[in-house]
Every structure is written in structure tokens, then in C-alpha cells.
A = this chain, B = another copy of it.
Amino acid sequence: MRIVILKSHLLQALQTISKAIPTRTAKPILYGVHVAAMTDGLQLTAYDLEIGIQTLIIPAEESDEPTLQIEQEGSIVLHAKYLLDITRKLPHKLVRIDVTDLTTTIRSGSATYTLNGMDPREYPKLPEITEDMSLSLPADVFISLIEQTNFATATTEIRPTLTGVLFSFKEPELRFIASDSHRLSIHSIQAESKHAYEQLEAIIPRKSLLELMKILPTSDVLTDVYIADNQLLVNFGLTKFYSRLIEGQYPDISRIIPTTWRTAIEVDPKQFTESIERAALLARENENQVIRLYLRRTHIEITSHSPDIGKVTETVDPKAFEGEDLQIACNAKFLLDALKALQNEQVRIEFTSPGSAFTLKPSTKDRPLHLILPVRFGPNA
């Protein structure tokens, strides 16, 4: 294998695939990136057996300088972390890589590295996904589906299905649902049905979605989603992202979301978030980070109490108030996570009773929706 490549192109591709390099593994070959020089370009693959990322670098068609020259085809596996650190620091914009047997020489300006490569025949194969049905959605929409739900997944393994996000498509709606059993987040969009499945369910691991979100472009470029054989494949541009799926039946959430309310408020998200944050400063001492909300037509009072430190009272004027006065207690972090996900939209919060789940959503639409279970409202809560 013999190639010359623009450092910036190699670096970007290495950064993309590095999300599938494990920090610790018993199989040293998994620390490696599989590098293959082919007639149509340079293909980089990383696969930790959970997440796989493959990206192809092709010569730029209109460019004054050479971006990639494949002088001789071939492949090698190189330690990804070293290759990334080395590439980042190379002195010249062009990089020459020569592989003889497993010995790999990297030259750039004044620097010459000779790395011990690993045998590409020992590198694990990416899952084969033969499905020809796919679902298409813009990358930025995909990111928003992840952002609105992924944070609400369970971080403990008690119920493995809850550690992932339910990807649920039923034409023409695609829903993402996540819950740690104390809160639930749901977002949905109208998905393109061209060449699409009619119905599809899969549970995608939290970590896979976190890594996918980092490499998805923040533009409306279309991503193609394939789900088959307990594997997810997301295809965008010249990059393929693979993830194993979580097996099992996701709990039925159809009856959890309340359809009525007795108290509803609308709040300015920034002002409300800052008030909750101030109350949360004292709530962080107790395990459930409990804050109390006193909802009154005239004003909302937010309080928190830590026996060791003291107490705090915040007053917020609601933008709108409908229904009855109510007192309710909840986990401040859950509230802040939901408000952060909803970003800068005016937020509508609907309550039924001090013991029932309440919901947050944009005041002008029904999705995304975040549901939070309150904590018991007692003298020491």
C-alpha cells in the first residue's frame, strides 16, 4: 500500500472513526483502525463489536492540490490513538504512507514515523446488513430526536431495555422514546416513507446515539437508516455508522402520558431555568435533588431545603396560568434536563395532581414532550 493524502482529510476521517475505538479492551486489535487503500479511495474502519464506523476518503474532484493519491492498493491495521495523535501533529499538509508487510512508514515534512502495523486479516468484519428497505431523514432532524430523548435513558442496567432509546416507526410517524422509569421523553417527526418500512421497532443503546450525534453533520443532508438482524446502520455521505441493538420488549407507554390536566402554566424558559438552578444549588445535597413548586395564580414559588446548609425560595411570574393552585415536589435535575432539551421555546407545563406525572412541552405544539414523576410531597421531602 502506498498513498499520499492531505493531512486535514486524514485527520477528519480519523476523528470520525475514533468514536468506535474502545478505551479499554482485551482484544488489542480493536485499538486499531483498519486502513484500506482501494481504487476508489481510502477506507477507514473502526469496530469495537458494539459500534462500528466506516468512512471513505475520495480524491476531491475540483481542487488545485492533490487531496488523495492511491499509488498502490493494500491494507493495514494501525493503532488508532497513536495514528490520530501523530496525524494531528504532523508538520506538513501532505502525508505519505507506505506499507511493506506490516511495517508502516508515515512521512510528512521533517517527520518520519515507522509504526508496527497489525494484520488486517485479524480485524473483525463489520455486520452485514442485507436489508434493502430504509428510512430517510435529515441529519439535523435525527440529531434533534436524539437530543430530546437520549438524556432520559436509564444509566443503570436493572432494566436493560431502558438503557436505550426506542426507535419506533409506523408510517408516516417516527417516534423516539426514552425513560428511566422516573421520567419519560418522547419526540416524533413525519418521516419520509419512500422506500421505507411500514412498521419498525428497535432499541438503540444510549452510548451509540451519543457517538452518532457527534459525527452526524448539523445540516439537512439525508441519512438512510437500516435496521435488520439486531443491527442498526446509519448511512450519511461517505460514512456508515453501525450499532448493535438492545434485545427485549420495550415497555408499553401508551397509557402513561396524561390526556387531561388541572393546572397548566407557561413560563419563560430562561427565567424559569435559572430559578430552578438557584433552588437546585441546595437540593443537590439530597439524593433525589428535591425541589418544591407552589403554583399560584399570582406567582410560582420554588423552594428547596438542605438541613445542613439552609433553604432557598425563588419567585417566578408565570406567562400564563390556567386551572387550580397546586403544590408539587420533583427532582430538580429532571426538570432542568427537560428545560434544557426544550431550549429557548416558551414552555407549557401541565399538572394533574401532586401525585401524578406532569408534562413539559413547547407552548405551541405537542412534541417534544417530557414527562416527570413527582416525588412524595412531605414535610422533609
Which A residues are closer than 8 A to B by beta carbons?
79, 82, 85-86, 89-91, 104, 110-116, 274-275, 277-278, 281-282, 308-316
Task: Evaluate contact between A89 and B277: CB separation under 8 angstroms.
Answer: yes
Interchain CB contact (< 8 A) of A110 among B86, B281, B316: B316
A-B contact pairs, 19 of them (CB 8 A): A79-B309, A82-B281, A86-B278, A90-B278, A91-B274, A91-B275, A111-B278, A111-B312, A111-B314, A112-B312, A112-B313, A112-B314, A113-B282, A113-B310, A113-B311, A113-B312, A114-B311, A114-B313, A115-B310
Interchain CB contact (< 8 A) of A89 among B85, B274, B311: B274
Task: Evaluate contact between B110 and A275: CB separation under 8 angstroms.
Answer: yes
**B residues near A313, Cβ cutoff 8 Å:** 111-112, 114
Task: Evaluate contact between A85 and B281: CB separation under 8 angstroms.
Answer: yes
Task: Evaluate contact between A281 and B315: CB separation under 8 angstroms.
Answer: no
Task: Evaluate contact between A281 and B314: CB separation under 8 angstroms.
Answer: no
Task: Evaluate contact between B309 and A116: CB separation under 8 angstroms.
Answer: yes
Q: Give the nearest-CB partner of A312 in chain B.
A: B113
State the Cβ distance, A27 to closest chain B Cβ, in Å.
Answer: 15
Q: How far is the CA of A106 from the CA of B290 in the complex (A)?
A: 21
Q: Give the nearest-CB partner of A116 in chain B.
A: B310
Extra inter-chain contacts (12) besides given A82-B281, A104-B310, CB under 8 Å: A82-B282, A82-B309, A86-B278, A86-B281, A89-B274, A90-B278, A110-B275, A112-B314, A113-B312, A114-B310, A115-B310, A116-B309
**B residues near A314, Cβ cutoff 8 Å:** 110-112
**B residues near A310, Cβ cutoff 8 Å:** 104, 113-116
State the Cβ distance, A170 to closest chain B Cβ, in Å.
Answer: 44
Q: How far is the CA of A311 from the CA of B115 in the complex (A)?
A: 6
State the Cβ distance, A13 to closest chain B Cβ, in Å.
Answer: 19
State the Cβ distance, A99 to closest chain B Cβ, in Å.
Answer: 12
Q: Give the nearest-CB partner of A310 in chain B.
A: B115
Q: Give the nearest-CB partner of A313 in chain B.
A: B112
Q: How far is the CA of A58 from the CA of B310 in the complex (A)?
A: 28
Q: Give the nearest-CB partner of A279 in chain B.
A: B111
State the Cβ distance, A28 to closest chain B Cβ, in Å.
Answer: 9
State the Cβ distance, A298 to closest chain B Cβ, in Å.
Answer: 14
Task: Evaluate contact between B274 and A312: CB separation under 8 angstroms.
Answer: no
